[in-house]
Structure 1
Amino acid sequence: MGVDEYTQARPSAALRPYVGFYSGYRQRGLAPATHRGLPSPYLTLIFTMDDPLDVAAHPDPRQAPGRYDSLVGGLHLTPALLTHPGRQSGVQVALRPLGCRALFGMPAAELAGLDLDAVAVLGAPMVAEIRDRLCSASSWPGRFAVLDDVLGRQLRPLPAGVAPEVVHACRRLLGGDVPVGAVAGEVGWSARYLTDRFRAEIGLRPKEAARVARFDRARRALRPAARLADIAAGHGFADQSHLVREFKAFAGCTPSRWLADEHDLSSLLSKPADDR
């Protein structure tokens, strides 16, 4: 008998400035599939519970395919390709860019475009504790409580080196359709200086981060019955052709192709998310 479970939850109040949401998934008895892990305004932290995560292609083509019991993926501009043999299970943490400092003690720029074993940033003991406790928990709320506990212990204050102007720009550019020039004016910096400081902390240029955030909001609004022109107009694109071009750039396919491949799959990264 097949199993197809997917659920989401918000983290504890202490973690919410740094973590958008948790996603839990468990599937068995499905057809083998390949899934696109698309660019988003969140870093990805995944802990598997049974089979490893198979990454057939990373956003950086120089990285060889690999299998991961846990994985952290930085912000990226091209899709990853993930495969499964008809079963997969685990928990995904949607990590805000500034959460990289708070939880890993490093700027998100150090992970930009990369997929790494989470042991590299959290250490083997912590990853082992999380995975063991996730596997022992009897419910999704119980598993999310494990993350609240362990990640909450890991929290550290943002260092003085993170400029408040960058914090403000990150929240504005990833949270809505705001021109980079307007944000630069809000913080009193030139657009060039903002770009340099923002990229050094986040790993993407401000315009790239804003494009990724807009793309993410639009693709989560896509449904089989939706009109692309309406989605484009409602999410800050010049027209339908503009939306299609952005889809090809970030997903490697058209919106209709992505819908055909993904809409009916209960894949770990394909569900609509309330917080994105």
Structure 2
Amino acid sequence: MRAEGAAFASDGGVSEGARAAPDPRLRPYLGDYVGYRLRGFPPGVHIGMPSTALTVIVTIDEPIELPVSCHPAQSGGRWDALASGLTVRPCLIGHHGYQHGVQLALTPLGARVLFGVPTADLGSWVVDLSDVLGPRAAELRERMAATAHWSRRFSILDRILLELMCEATIEPELRRAWQLLTGSAGRARVGAVAEEIGWSRRYLGARFAAEFGITPKDAARLARFESSHRLLRTVATEAASATAAEPRAGTTLAEVAAATGYYDQAHMAREWRELAGLPPSRWLACEVFPFVQDPVPDLLEG
């Protein structure tokens, strides 16, 4: 396994980490392992963005604190390791200028294969990782904390996740619907997707929610939002002197909106307010160190 390391400084803080692809047998079920160590930043909060992937975070040192959870009925809390399903709401992640751990992004098929449950079982709740992995969650955290080498930590993840794999699948029609709705960055129409897989729109909606915990329309919204978030983060990172209105020369918020399938900048801003709790211009101005939320593998690869 080759772990790619990186470090950069921002606002007096230093962000260090590494990224590596999991074992080939795991790649249909999750994206790259992302290790992070963020230190020296002013205390504050950053936003955990909604995504088309389930989130797993395993901390190395102090627990992760969520003062505001994704689920309106769930109060905040602290976790050594957590998992969450799909949601159309953001959460707030508190920090004291320091965070250290590993983040994973699971496909819905990964929830079936590694957790043994459909994504809908997690809903938009944040749960302790031990609720889905049992005692292996504590073992995973302890073994990763015992070494300072990212490549060894990622190898530990490989070994434990491979041992957890079980035989599971998702109905072909649902897998195809998910791929069409999210693979098109939200451009596919729900009615057209239902027609392609041979189901009525109402039947698709019911079966889709039972498996994924969100509606087909929300899956498309998340995919489009995720695309805009990724582009904004990329162009902002490439230009340290960016302004909130123009992440880099030649790239405006209006251009990002057009490139990611929104009607216009105002449409993108409305969606961001609903899904992230603030418009993209404010996120660019306020976010100090966003978690990496890159795309996960195509669900059909499994």
> Paired residue for 2:262?
237
> Paired residue for 1:141?
151
> Paired residue for 2:242?
none
Cα distance in 2 for partners of 1:100, 1:209 equals 16
Question: Which one is further off, 14-23 or 203-212?
Answer: 14-23
Secondary structure of the structure 2 residue equivalent to 1:142: helix
Deviation at 1:86, TM superposition (A): 1.3
Q: Say whether residues 1:174 and 2:216 are aligned partners.
A: no
- Paired residue type of 1:64: S
Cα distance in 1 for partners of 2:159, 2:123 equals 27
Cα distance in 2 for partners of 1:272, 1:65 equals 21
Secondary structure of the structure 2 residue equivalent to 1:20: coil
Deviation at 1:192, TM superposition (A): 1.2
Structure 2: any 5+ residue segments left out of the alignment?
1-11, 237-246, 298-302
What CA deviation, in whole Å up to 9, does each residue of 1:186-228 have, x standing for no partner? 2111111111111100000011011011101111101322311
Cα distance in 1 for partners of 2:295, 2:69 equals 26
Deviation at 1:274, TM superposition (A): 5.8
> Paired residue for 1:130?
140
- Paired residue type of 1:234: A
Deviation at 1:4, TM superposition (A): 2.3
1:93-242 equivalences in 2 (<5 Å): 93-123=104-134, 125-159=135-169, 162-176=170-184, 177-222=187-232, 223=236, 224-225=247-248, 226-242=251-267
Deviation at 1:234, TM superposition (A): 1.0
> Paired residue for 1:266?
289
Secondary structure of the structure 1 residue equivalent to 2:113: helix
- Paired residue type of 2:15: D
**Cα 1:149/1:37, change in 2 over 3 Å:** same
**Cα 1:209/1:272, change in 2 over 3 Å:** closer
Instruction: Note if contact 2:105-2:296 (Cα within 8 Å) is conserved in structure 1.
Output: no
1:252-263 equivalences in 2 (<5 Å): 252-262=277-287
Stretches of 4+ moved more than 4 A in 1? none
Number of matched pairs: 269
**Cα 1:40/1:195, change in 2 over 3 Å:** same
Q: Normalization by structure 2: what TM-score?
A: 0.85
Cα distance in 1 for partners of 2:130, 2:295 equals 29
- Paired residue type of 2:254: A
From 5, 9, 28, give the equivalent of 2:16. 5
Instruction: Note if contact 1:47-1:70 (Cα within 8 Å) is conserved in structure 2.
Output: yes
Instruction: Note if contact 1:6-1:266 (Cα within 8 Å) is conserved in structure 2.
Output: no
Cα distance in 2 for partners of 1:37, 1:119 equals 21
Deviation at 1:275, TM superposition (A): 4.7
Secondary structure of the structure 1 residue equivalent to 2:89: coil
Deviation at 1:8, TM superposition (A): 2.5
- Paired residue type of 2:158: D
What CA deviation, in whole Å up to 9, does each residue of 1:238-263 have, x standing for no partner? 1111111110110111110001111x
> Paired residue for 1:38?
49
Alignment root-mean-square deviation, CA: 1.7
Structure 1: any 5+ residue segments left out of the alignment?
none
Secondary structure of the structure 1 residue equivalent to 2:22: coil
Deviation at 1:272, TM superposition (A): 6.0
- Paired residue type of 2:286: D
Deviation at 1:9, TM superposition (A): 2.4
Instruction: Note if contact 2:53-2:296 (Cα within 8 Å) is conserved in structure 1.
Output: no
What CA deviation, in whole Å up to 9, does each residue of 1:108-146 have, x standing for no partner? 0011110011111100x2012111221123322221221
Deviation at 1:17, TM superposition (A): 1.1
Deviation at 1:158, TM superposition (A): 1.6
> Paired residue for 2:4?
none
Q: Normalization by structure 1: what TM-score?
A: 0.92
> Paired residue for 1:72?
83
> Paired residue for 1:24?
35
Cα distance in 1 for partners of 2:152, 2:192 equals 43
